[in-house]
Structure 1
Amino acid sequence: MKTVDIKEKIFKNLDQLSRELDYNLDHFVIFSSLSSGFGAEGQLNYTYGNSICERICEQRQRDGLSGLAIQFGPIGDVGAMTELTQMFDIITTQKQRIHSCCEILDKLLAVKYPVVAVNVKSVENSLLRLDSGAKEGSKSFINKLWGSLGIDPSATPADITLGEIGIESIFASELQQELAKLCNQTIQLKIIKHMSVGLLREFESGGDDTIKIYFNGMKSAQISLSKYIFVIPVETHVRLNGVSNGKPLYLMPTLEMGFALYDNLVQNINRPVVGLNWTSDVNRLSTLKEVMKYFTDLMARLEPNGGYDVLGSTDGAIICGQLLRKGLAEKAVMIDVL
């Protein structure tokens, strides 16, 4: 929280000291950031610090004093963005030169709003232009994206995701906004990072329908989850299919306290599938170590001879690892959804 602390202390002190003067300041100006208004993944402390400064300006105006916070975008001549050029080839927010900042500052000093934003847009580089006549524009963008990520799409496995490659949050945000327009729905940033290289390759070749099907499927899943009733079960476990023969597969508890997300998978597995429930007894446990012991003991009772496989995500994946290390489970599938 060092970034927050520095900004907060400096501008709170300046605010307090200026209020003790024998005269009112003509202008009290704070340089904030566009990330405070639009958000920037991985920069929570930075955006929160800027947000605090903006609240100071709002309070000053309520008190009849001068106060102006300007949300600037990336600056081209100084600072962290000076050397970054390739990134700005494919995004709509462009770097602003210092002389331009000074010119706009002179104009903004006359406005009465406590918080304003300055954004230099580049129409030519606007991301995908996904109207009916913009096929070449989308191909051009994807080509630039490959270059920025430093990968050869033809030599990269189709199932590798943008998140695994390490896409910059500013790229992901631009892609999120443009695809949201295309699909006419809100798209979460984490879904963008889960998009695969193969999916983007199809999109690059003109497969708009593929993208729409992908996000419509996500939307359907969200609607299904919104109808899900969260109830803490009483039973320690529940059978998820009607198969009785074969090596059993045990699913660890999910964050949704149910197994609806696994429905399609379960129906296509030709062996017993059993879900371990998050019961009220587990809910009373306070540490992950206690939870791991609970499920280890439960599996020892359900399958005293071992001979089963396990599957889990997030904390459930940790439990899977514990069962595997103890030699209780034969195989474990551990899913990291982050």
Structure 2
Amino acid sequence: MKVAIRQMALLNVLNPCHFFAKYTPTMCFHCDVRYTYVVIGGLGGVDLELSDWLVLKGARKLVLSSRSGIQTGYQQQRIHIWTSYGVEVKISMKNVTTERGCEDLINEATELGPIDAIFNLAVVLTDALFGDQTQETFETSFAPKARATLYLDRVTRKLCPKLRYFVIFSSLSCGRGNPGQSNYQILLWNEYVRTETEKDYQLWLFNGAQSVGLAAKMQKENKELAFGGIVQQKISSCLEVLDVLLNHNYPVVSSMVVAEKQQKNNILSAVETVAYVLGIKDLKKISHTTTFGELGMDSMMGVEIVQLLEKDFGIYLTSRDARNLTFAKLAEMEEGKMNKFAEVLDKKTEEGENLFIQYIPNRETVHLPAVKLNSHIDSDLEAPIVFVLPGVESIFKPLEYLTNTLKAHVVGVQYSYDNPEDSIKEIAQNTLPHIENYLSRDSSFYIIGYSFGTLVALEMISLLEEKGYTGILILIDSSPAYSSSSLKKHFAHETDAQFQTAVLMKICTLLIPLDVVSQYEEMLKCKNFEERIDLLLSLIPLKIRNEVNLEKQACIALYNRCKAVFDYTFENKKIQSSTHLFKAKYPMVDEADDYQLSEVSDNVAQVTAIDGDHVTILKSPGLVKAVSKIVVLKQ
């Protein structure tokens, strides 16, 4: 080959000169072809990317630990590509949550060659707020990460003398904190493993790889997921950073990408901001009275919503409050119509997401139509009789704080469980004979109705007045108009199928966290109510069903009672008995001052506002004091 150089070019040739400069060499991670590299949870999205990176770094012996083995064509394809490079790949299905399983895994990997590095990327999430966590959910989340790391540390000390790297991957949300993942928090299992092993290992935190991994699965319609002011990091960036961090001696390292601050003029309202986080494009297509939890808000979204509302709009909530919030309430808060709403939410109890339904009715709590309840007086002393009609669940537990302090003989009225009535009037008629067994013409009595029980109380005292009895009616935060409005808000529907589905979904959300939106559509497709109940029971783990005694009959009873409220109209003569209404200071729905009791009573109801909401009013000392005062004065 000949090379021709133009003469003009020769004139521009420069003589060489000596030049010295100082450069700091960058340490990079390299694999040794003689050694084995173990990846725990090795067939997930991030795991496969890490394994591919190890191969590019020179690894020729890979052991991927996965309990489920190869399940997709993509996994098979990646392994095929690596083997074409001359890489030995072994899929181990050993149980790394036990010490024996870890020992078997290490022995299996050592057959290929000495182990140079172990990467634990296993993860099992069981998201729930701390109050809803159980020992089982903690164990489930701890096992593949904390216990596996502990056992691997013990085993590798004995069997892997040449081990250079012991790396545990985790989510940056754990280091920063997430109310929905307390069982996965770094402060729990990292300290646990450290205490047990007394050995520094490298823990790498990153904020979710884009396109692969659990965080990527949470993306909706390619919307960039932001959490705590950070966004997902591209997997290529994660691996570039890992290349550098593996050469540091720090036991805990992290990598994150800070989210760009959104311009204020791009945020039109708090409602639109929350809709963006939830992935809702058209607010007209959803009910504004549906809670964010029912719209599919998970724990990470909850944290982001709470932070955005606090930072950009001055609205202060907890994660639990955010789950119970609706777009309608959020709009009112933003407009300043409910400036005390945040204070109210702080006072909410943990007795259920829905204020109308708090418990699941069960056969064990229903024995007789009328039962004696504990009170603040001996059973052999003379005292007035108080009949208590509970909420829609027919459970007296929420009322114990009140009934235990009354200086009266308290009788609890229970609604039929095995043969639930179809109307409020039927419930009152069937219960009336059992109530009359406790009455005499010359003795005073009181009827206390709470929530659903106020409707039964109105029907019952109307029937008693027809028989010549006179008593005192005490209603706690409800009336026919108020109950109807509340149910229309919580169970908005146009067909029976929608109503049945809404009631069953409320039962489900009391027991487990779930994607209500998707399950609602599935349940709506069922042919009849019985199929919908079967689907509900299949969604709830058997252990939880047994703990709350949830069975098909409980669903039927609860549905019948809710439907009875929708169908109820007071058609009797107006009540003559003295009526007292104790209303919550923070109601579920806006209603007239007397909850429209003037429509059913000739006497003007004495209305008293008690601090609290529909649930916490029962624990209010103000309610106890006021009711006790009425009972004492009328003895």
TM-score per shorter chain, which class? 0.5 to 0.7
Q: What TM-score do you get using the length of structure 2 for normalisation?
A: 0.33
Per the TM alignment, residue 166 of structure 1 is displaced from its structure 2 partner at its CA by 2.0
Structure 2 CA distance, aligned partners of 1:123 and 1:59?
Answer: 40
Unaligned segments of structure 1, at least 5 residues: 224-232, 238-246, 260-275, 280-291, 294-298
Partner of 1:178: 308
**RMSD of aligned alpha carbons:** 5.3
Aligned match of 1:303 = 435
1:217 aligns with 2:344: yes
Query: Does residue 146 of structure 1 match 2:275?
Result: yes
Offset, 1:178: 2.9
* Cα distance in 2, alignment partners of residues 208 and 123 from structure 1: 27
Task: Find the aligned partners of 2:340 and 2:561 in 1 and give their Cα distance.
Answer: 41
Q: CA deviation at 1:100?
A: 1.9
Distance 1:111 1:222 in 2: 48
Instruction: Choose which of 219, 224, 235 in structure 1 pairs with 2:375.
Output: 235
Equivalent residue of 1:164, what SS? coil
Aligned equivalent of 1:120: 257
Partner of 1:161 in structure 2? 291
Letter in 2 for 1:235: S
Partners of 2:240 and 2:562 in 1: CA distance: 68
For residue 258 of structure 1, the aligned residue among 361, 377, 401 is 401
Change (3 A) 1:277 1:154: farther
Q: 1:49 Cα shift?
A: 9.2
Is residue 2:240 matched to residue 1:103? yes
The sequence identity of aligned pairs, in percent, is 20
**Aligned-partner SS, 2:231:** coil
Q: Relative to structure 1, is the Cα distance of residues 58 and 222 closer, same or farther in structure 2, using a 3 angstrom cutoff?
A: same
Structure-2 change in CA distance of 1:182 and 1:153 (3 Å): same
Q: Which runs of 5+ in 2 are unaligned?
A: 1-138, 350-372, 378-386, 407-416, 419-430, 439-446, 455-475, 477-506, 511-547, 567-587, 589-613, 616-635
Structure 1 distance, partners of 2:241, 2:186, is 23
- 1:7 paired with 2:156, answer no
CA contact (8 A) 2:288 2:328 kept: yes
Change (3 A) 1:215 1:21: same
Secondary structure of residue in 2 paired with 1:124 = coil
Specify the code of the residue in structure 1 equivalent to 2:293: G
Q: Is the 8 A contact 2:172 2:205 kept in 1?
A: yes
Deviation of 1:69 after TM superposition, in Å, equals 1.3
Partner residue, 1:74: 208
Give the conservation status (yes or no) of the 8 Å contact 1:28–1:68.
yes
Q: Confirm whether residue 88 of structure 1 aligns to residue 224 of structure 2.
A: yes
Map Cα deviations across residues 234-276 of structure 1 (whole Å, 9 max, x no partner).
5189xxxxxxxxx9854554559536xxxxxxxxxxxxxxxx5
Aligned pair count reads 266
For residues 210 and 179 of structure 1, do their structure 2 counterparts lie closer, same or farther at Cα, with a shift above 3 Å needed? farther
Matched, 1:17 2:155: yes
Shift in CA distance, 13/210, structure 1 to aligned 2, threshold 3 Å: same
Q: Evaluate the alpha carbon distance shift between residue 181 and residue 9 of structure 1 in structure 2; reply closer, same or farther with a 3 A threshold.
A: same
Q: Which residue of 2 aligns with 1:31?
A: 169
